[in-house]
Amino acid sequence: MAGKFNPDLHLDITGFGGKDIDMCMNCGTCTTICPMSEDSGGGFPRRVIRLIQTGQQSKLEETLDPWLCYYCGDCTTNCPRQANPAETMMASRRYLTARYDFTGLAKLFYKSAVAEILAIILVGLFVTGLFVAFHGPMVLNKVELNTFAPVHAVELGDWIMAAVLSFFLLAGAARMTWWTLGRKKMFRISPLIFIQQIPVFFVHLFTQKRWKKCGSHHSGIRWMKHLLLVSGYLSMLTLVLILLRWFQTDKIYPFYYPQRLWGYYATIALLYPTVDFMISRWRRKEPIHLFSEASDWIFLVMLFLTALTGIMVNIFRVGGLPMATYLIYVIHLSIAVPMLVVEVPFSKWSHIMYRPLSIYLYGVKQAATRANRAADEPASEKVAA
Amino acid sequence: MIATADNERHKDAVIIGGGIAGLQSALDLADQGYKVAVVERQASIGGRMISLSKVYPTLDCASCITTPKMSAAAHHENIELLTYTEVDSITPGPNGHTVVVTRKATHVNADKCIGCRLCEYACDTEYPDDFEQGLGSVRAISVAFTNAIPQKAVLDADYCLACGLCLRACPTDAIEFDQQPRQETIHADVVIVASGFQLNALTIKPQYSAAQNQNVISPLTLERLLAPHGPYGRVLRPSDGKIPESIAFVQCAGSRDQSIGVPYCSRVCCMYAIKQAMLLSGSLPTADITIYYMDIRAFGKGYEQFYQNAKAMGINFVRGKVSKIDSVDKDDLLVHVEYTEEPQDCVRKQRHDMVVLAQGMIPQWNPTSFSPVQIGSDGFVATPDSVSPCTTNVPGIFVAGAAAGPKDIVDSIAEAGAAAMEAGRYLSKRAHLDHTARTVALELIA
Amino acid sequence: MDNKDENVVRDAAMPTTPRVGVYICRCGGNISDVVDTEHVAEICRLIPGVAVSKVHTFMCSDPGQQTISDDIKQEKLDRVVVASCSPFLHELTFRGAVVRSKMNPYLYEQVNIREQCSWAHKHDPRGATAKAIQLISAAVGKVSRATPLAKIRLPNHRRALVVGGGPAGMKVAADLAACGISVVLVEQSDRLGGKLHTLNRLFPTGQAAIQLAAKMESQVLADPKIEILLNSKVTKVSGFIGNFEVGIHGNFGPSGKTTEIHTTVGVIVMATGFKPYVPREGEFNYKKHPTVLTTVDFNSLLATQNTEGRTLHYEGRSIGSIAFIHCVGSRQVDGVHTPGPDGRLNTYCSRVCCTTVLNQALQVRQRFPETRVYDLHQDIRTYGRGHEEYYTDASRAGVVFFRYHGDEPPTVTNANGPTSPLRINVKDYLSWGEELELEVDMVVLAVGMTAGPCETLVDQLKLPRGEDDFLQEIHPKLRPVEISVNGVLLAGTSQAPMNIQETLAAAGAAAVKARAMFTTEEVELNPYVAQVDTHLCEGSGVCLTQCEYDGALAMVETQENGHSVRKAQVNPGLCVGCGACVAVCPTQAINVSGWRIDQYDAMVDGLVRDVEPAMV
């Protein structure tokens, strides 16, 4: 077989949560029932399953297919052999995340919940430690958060963390780009195409609009919930990275002041979907939530706790409880930071990068194919003449 | 002899089901000199096979194979046919089995009826004809079909308006409106269950739109459309009577599918689809015919050649399981399928005028509630003995044909012969025992 | 039949002018869609001798037959012609119908206007109709000159010869013996059980094959009605149903010396089995590489490998991966596969190999979890009850499947010598026709079934073989276990590939037919045999030179007016009525009953009779 052949690939993917991959008899039901497959170059999810069955690791790494699936679960519901294609796609995303990550941490975290939790605790303790060692004076007669944790220091920390995370995430993105654009074939793609397609990345980063094409299982509602979550997340990111000086103030503004409204919006946008998803996973009421890996739970719980502690900081601050505010602030950061550090580059959260990037790369590929075909045609005509 | 009441019979064997397997078993047993009763729930013997058009792999007309066996059974001095009769219970006992049956009311005196059909011609109440898969209509009083055996009219009380037209038409005063069903008992040493199969519902996969579109049809409907003496005399699609130009066969539409609870293979669908495709291309030479399949299971003698012939005739074989069928432009159909063997653009939506769903075979009859016969996890009669493939868990009760799992006609007939042999062995062993017992008794008297 | 032909023969007085009833079948449209049956009936009324001419939708149905019976009584018919399908299908049906009306069955004639008119001339209805009329006219001519005949009755020896001691043979023998029929069971090897000894675990029960063999063997051995002849072969066979003379050669008996015995049997059951296909040397590297085996070899490997381990071991080597290749010696394609030594391509499907492979693959995965299994197939044909489960279970156990097309079979190479892994290249149609390469330690070829050896019987009894070389039954549905030689039955894989359960069912079906043949004291044969007019025979003996059937004709000395003269004499049991003798007799002293020369003349007259000038 061309490229790297790994007869145990199906076992690898099973390790990332794949279910019943061997059961697939390649009938094609999943591929045709999938509402996304036709617009995605054809052939998934079966193409992915088949690559796994035949151990074609290189080709699996080169495919974007898993990232183009949004898990409506129609394939799994319709599968005549209960081979669970949707879960195979999910597991492939985890597997690819681990493959894109050069450190090996992603693989470790996906395969071992203990390792992931330990990592989170370690980073959390580190953050707590930082506060214990370097916190500012604790004003106790009124809430002065900026004295306890000066905003410029926190901001500095934010930026350092963002830089580190971006480095790992971008490294993963680079590997993804390199592999999926065909290692050698990439040089046939005009740089212009790469630039032209850039808007695609941002459109999908902010809207996930491709998801709306996904199957019948309340995908529209799921997409909206997810969009809410993303807006909450991006709001928070904006507030803590760019607008922290405006956001973390000791002055208590009236309720309708944008600073507070935006914060509340972000909190609701994070809390409502995370709670909803956790309930759904617990009850296994949708195909997408039939199987939950530890990484899925950790992601949801951490996000939920971050939002919860965040809003509690606000409640205590507004309620004028200085000690509680400082304490919960430390807890808040001791949850938020490890969540970001562990989840964003090395675990489930990385999809914030890989999803839009895959659609971008897919767009690039399509455009390049069109361009190459257009370039080839006159040539072949000439030969024919 | 034991004195018997009118409603009691003593037989060597009772065969449940008058289809091809039951008839073959009956004939084989009767040829060995055993007295046989055949219990058939329909008004005529002949089973599923008599309604088929032609049969693979020889392409003989099905009637031409079935009618001689039906006729031979009807005229055999050792065979008694109990048609329009349901089995109520089978109870094994030390002196053989007691089979209680209900002779349903035909409202026609069988002894008087001469099968002239004057009642049928006189009747003006019609309802959809089951024999024609609902494509034609049948009168409330009628002879089951042209070559039915026995040629006796049956009045369907559910549809009869009791207008009395038939009463006046009947030349022999055979019609008895007040006829009641009656229970009868048959004592027999052996029972052969040959109760056959039915197809699971056409609508079992809602994705296939059979409930919404009349042109998604059952293969049995197509058999009637193809039969020379079928409802239309030619192949027309049900919704609008158009001659179909493009016909699709969707294989495994009711089997090999765990999502509908039928994981097993129905064994016959590949071959009959190929056969129907060949017959279709004979009657509609310009039509496009496509068979969507996962594996072509042409396993029997001469079957592979049959398949290769169909390919050479230009029938399209596409490997891929159809996931969904949509209606388009009201009557046409859009088949969603992956051409799994083709590298490019493998996901396709193909338009067809008519689609035939290869429904799965499921058992016709579940004997467990009124007999000690056990069934397997697939619902068919269990056959625990590997040396005698026709034996059930009850000594003296045997099984033949599709009652013991999906089976084509060739295999059903072979198995029916085997079941008759097993039954014959059992009977001769019993006869030997009886003889010994009698000898002992005589010795004791002496 | 409750009416003995003799009575009917006696009752039928030769009429001066025959009254023929002509019945034309529409065959539910099979005929009437092309042939204008109503018109044919009308015209046939004009043929001399025809008293009644009628049309029916299904002549073979009960009401159709009833019409004939009624007319024989009411219209005083003494001859009947039915124009319908091939006599092959329904001659017996209609003969039965006329017998029920107390008419001699041989005063009935069938005309095939379906295969020969409506089907053959689909696009020429006028021509087909004209031809139907001509054929019926010929048949009326023939039947008008027919004389009542009686079936030939010969003694029936209540004893069966079962050739082959495999599962089919043992099953037939046991079944017949249980019904009180004595059986001679001939087996060429030194033990009963046949191919069961080469099998391992049987699907779908999972039972051990040797256990089944032992169980069946003990049944056969325990029955005193069965005479078992091991190490023996049928060397001579002649005769006919009820009276086959058989010579069996072998070293049976206490002396252990090779002897020959002769016996007479009424029925011969061919349970001669199959031969597994043997791949050519080099076919998929067979015989060139030590770890290319067949499924037969692999069965014994599985049976002998008792130690459970992480991987399968073979000849001291650990086998990390096995590839099974389906359809080796089956479903062969002209131009792709090399024909066998007999020039034959096995284009048929061997039916059992798919489930056999999956059964073996599953055993490997269950017993040797670290041996990988690949399966290269065309179609997975797990058709039977409990078979699909093998496919599902094999998938679940991690067997990886590849699908190839029959005209692009995979290749097996061993580039680096016999100790290196084997390389398989396959164009995989589960991967969109992509060329894939596998490296494996072992290749197992799923060999098909080929026709078994039974040359002596085939040659001496002139048994027909089908295109696939297996023995050919008369009709797969009407007479599935009978062969064109009366009294010879087929059981199991001598007829076609079958698995063990199907073999046993087929054997049961053969046994029930054999038993039915023994229900009468005498066997009945068709009377269509040569008959010598002793007044005309001058004893030239020319007929004998043309007769191809040993013992069918003989010259005997008889006394005529005090002189000893030589006359030809027919043995009706052995004569097949071929008519070779009729053609050469210088004095026209010999004729085939039912097909006499004067009947042929009448047929020719009938064919050229201008029944309908306006039509043709």
Q: What is the pLDDT of residues C69-103, one digit of tens each?
A: 999 999 999 999 999 988 877 888 899 899 999 99
Residue C285 predicted with pLDDT over 90:
yes
Mean pLDDT of the residues in chain A: 89
Q: What is the pLDDT of residue A184?
A: 59
CA distance B66 to B45: 10
Q: Buried b / exposed e across C413-428, counting CB within 10 Å, b at 16+?
A: ebeeeeeebbbbebbb
The confidence score (pLDDT) of residue A286 equals: 77
- Averaged pLDDT for residues C21-35: 91
Q: Give the closest residue to B398 by CA, choosing from B70, B79, B28, B8.
A: B28
Q: pLDDT category, C611, cuts 50, 70, 90?
A: low
CA-based nearest distance C427→chain B, Å: 11
Instruction: Please report which confidence band the pLDDT of residue B146 belongs to, taking 50, 70 and 90 as the band edges.
Output: confident
pLDDT of residue C8: 46
Tell me: do A91 and A164 sit in the same domain.
Answer: no
The residue in chain B having the minimum alpha-carbon distance to the alpha carbon of residue A82 is: B258
Smallest Cα–Cα separation from C376: which of C325, C411, C441?
Answer: C325
C-beta atoms of C391 and A81 within 8 A: no
Number of domains chain A contains: 2
Q: What is the pLDDT of residues C503-545, one digit of tens each?
A: 999 999 999 999 999 988 888 888 999 999 988 999 899 999 9
pLDDT above 80 (res C424): yes
Domain C1-151, CATH 1.10.287 — does that match? no
Instruction: Read off the pLDDT of residues A126-152 as tens digits, 9 standing for 90 and up.
Output: 999 999 999 889 888 888 999 999 998
Q: How far is CA B442 from CA B429, C183, C400, in A?
A: 20, 32, 70
Residues A47 and A145 in one domain: no
**What residues contact residue C271 under an 8 Å CB cut-off, 6+ apart?**
C162, C163, C164, C165, C166, C168, C169, C172, C491, C492, C494, C507, C510
Mean pLDDT of chain B, nearest integer: 92
- Tell me the chain B residues in contact with residue C389 when contact means C-beta distances shorter than 8 Å: 263-264
Please report which confidence band the pLDDT of residue A188 belongs to, taking 50, 70 and 90 as the band edges: confident
Instruction: Give ∠ CA B147-B152-B157 in degrees, rounded to 5.
Output: 115
Query: Residue B147 and residue C180: Cβ atoms within 8 Å?
Result: no
Interchain CB distance below 8 Å, A22 and C437: no
Domain co-membership, A29 together with A60: yes
Asked if C159-273+452-522 and C278-447 have one fold, the answer is yes
Give the CATH class of C159-273+452-522.
Answer: alpha beta
Same domain, A111 and A144: yes
Mutate which of C376, C400, C439 to disrupt the A interface (most A C-beta within 10 Å)?
Answer: C400
The angle at the Cα of B390, spanning B386 to B391, to the nearest 5 degrees, equals: 75
Give the pLDDT of residue A6. Answer: 86
pLDDT score of C463 more than 50? yes
Angle between helical axes of A85-100 and A151-180 (0-180°, round to 10) = 110
What is the reported pLDDT for C4? 46
List pLDDT tens digits, range C140-179.
999 999 999 998 888 999 999 999 999 999 999 999 999 9
Residue B141 touches chain A, beta carbons under 8 Å: no
Instruction: State residue C537's pLDDT score.
Output: 92
Domain ranges of chain C: 1-151, 159-273+452-522, 278-447
Residue A109 domain-assigned (yes or no): yes
Is the model's pLDDT at A88 over the cut of 80? yes
pLDDT score recorded for residue B151: 86
Chain B residues in contact with C466 by the CB 8 A cut-off are 301-302
Contact C392 A10 (CB under 8 A): no
C423 contact partners, CB below 8 Å, separation of at least 6:
C412, C413, C414, C415, C437, C438, C439
CB B46 within 8 A of CB B25: no
Regarding whether A200 and A58 lie in a shared domain, the answer is: no
Per-residue pLDDT at B438 exceeds 90: no
Whether residue C481 and residue B60 make contact (CB cut-off 8 A), yes or no, is no
The Cα of C540 is separated from the nearest Cα of chain B by a number of Å equal to 45
Q: What angle do CA C534, C538, C542 make, to 5 degrees?
A: 110
pLDDT single digits (tens) C376-394: 999 999 999 999 999 999 9
In a domain, A18, yes or no: yes
- Cβ separation A1–C436 shorter than 8 A: yes
Q: What is residue C227's predicted lDDT score, i.e. its pLDDT?
A: 95
Could you count the other beta carbons within 10 Å of the beta carbon of residue C341? 6
Within a domain: A379: no
Residue A368 has a pLDDT of 86
Residue A141, both tokens: 């007669």
Q: Is the domain of A196 the same as that of A329?
A: yes
DSSP assignment of C187-216 equals -SSSSTTGGGGG--BPTTT--BHHHHHHHH
A32 and B347 within 8 Å at the Cβ level: the answer is yes
Give residue C11's pLDDT: 40
Q: Residues B32-65: pLDDT tens digits? A: 999 999 999 999 999 999 999 999 999 988 988 9
Query: pLDDT-based confidence at B445, cuts 50/70/90?
Result: low
Chains with 3+ CB–CB pairs under 8 A to B are A, C
At B153, the pLDDT band (50, 70, 90 cuts) reads very high
Tell which of B323, B325, B342 to mutate to test the A interface (max A CBs under 10 Å): B323
Query: What percentage of chain C has pLDDT greater than the value 70?
Result: 95
Provide the shortest C-alpha distance from residue A75 to chain B (in Å): 9
Q: Hey, are the CB atoms on A81 and C395 less than 8 Å from each other?
A: yes
Interchain contact, B425 vs C179, CB within 8 Å: yes
Q: What is the mean pLDDT of residues C558-564?
A: 83
pLDDT of the residue at C293: 96
The 10 Å CB-count burial string (b at 16+, else e) for C76-105 is ebbbbbbbbbbbebbbebbbbbbbbbebbb
Tally of CB atoms within 10 A around C261: 15
Q: What is the mean pLDDT of residues B103-115?
A: 91
Structural domains of chain B in order of their starting residue, each with its CATH number: 3-105+180-196+364-433 (3.50.50.60), 200-361 (3.50.50.60)
Mean pLDDT of C325-330: 97
pLDDT band at B211; cut points 50, 70, 90:
very high
Residue with tokens 């198995």: B415
Give the closest of C60, C495, C516 to B31, CB-based: C516
- Residues in chain C within 8 Å Cβ distance of A29: none
Q: 3-class DSSP state for residue B329?
A: coil
The amino acid sitting at A136 is G
Note whether C519 contacts B31, CB cutoff 8 Å. yes
- A2 domain residue, yes or no: no
| pLDDT at residue C1 is higher than 60 | no
At A217, is the pLDDT very low, low, confident or very high (cuts 50, 70, 90)? Answer: low
Question: Do A82 and A124 lie in a common domain?
Answer: no
Among C378, C379, C519, pick the best mutation site for testing chain B contact (most B Cβ within 10 A): C379
What span, in angstroms and rounded, lies between the C-alpha atoms of C72 and C102?
9
Residue whose structure tokens are 């009978």: C482
C249 or B445: which carries more pLDDT confidence? Answer: C249
Residues of B numbered 242-261 whose beta carbons fall under 8 angstroms of chain A's beta carbons: which are they?
A: 252, 256-259
Which of chain B's residues have a Cβ under 8 Å away from the Cβ of A40?
A: none
Q: Are A332 and A272 found together in one domain? A: yes
Residue A215 reports pLDDT greater than 50: yes
**B265 to C519: CB separation less than 8 angstroms, yes or no:** no
Q: Which residue has the higher pLDDT, C255 or C30?
A: C30
Residue C3: pLDDT above 50? no
Mutate to test the interface with A, among B338, B339, B345, B350 (most CBs of A within 10 A): B338
Which of A51, A75, A100 marks a domain boundary?
A100
Instruction: Give the least confident one: A366-375, B412-421, C365-374.
Output: A366-375
Co-location of A257 and A310 in the same domain:
yes
Of C48 and B444, the structure prediction assigns the larger pLDDT to C48
**Cis geometry, peptide bond prior to residue A45 (ω within 30 degrees of 0):** yes
Structure confidence at residue A330 (pLDDT): 95
CA distance to partner chain C, nearest, from residue B56 (Å)? 10
Residue type, B164: G
- When pLDDT is cut at 50, 70 and 90, the band that residue A186 belongs to is low
pLDDT band at A167 (very low <50, low <70, confident <90, very high): very high
Chains that touch C (3 or more CB pairs under 8 A): A, B
- Cβ separation of B64 and C89 shorter than 8 Å? yes
For residue B3, what pLDDT is reported?
38
A86 and A119: one domain?
Answer: no
Measure CB to CB from residue C398 to each of A22, A25, A26 and give the nearest one. A22
- pLDDT at residue C6 in the model: 45
CATH topology of domain C278-447: FAD/NAD(P)-binding domain (3.50.50)
Q: Rg of chain C's alpha carbons, rounded to an integer?
A: 30
**The domain that contains A69 carries what CATH number?**
1.10.1060.10
Q: What is the pLDDT of residue C616?
A: 38
Domain that holds residue A198: 105-368
CB contact under 8 A, C383 and B319: no
Is the domain of A78 the same as that of A189?
no
What pLDDT sits at residue C12?
A: 43
pLDDT in tens, A230-287: 999 999 989 988 999 899 888 888 888 998 999 999 999 999 999 999 998 998 877 7
Q: Give B-chain residues touching C65 at CB under 8 angstroms.
A: 71
> In this predicted model, which residue has the larger pLDDT, C119 or C330?
C330
A-C Cβ pairs (cutoff 8 Å, strict) = 36
- Give chain A's count of helices (H) and strands (E): 20, 0
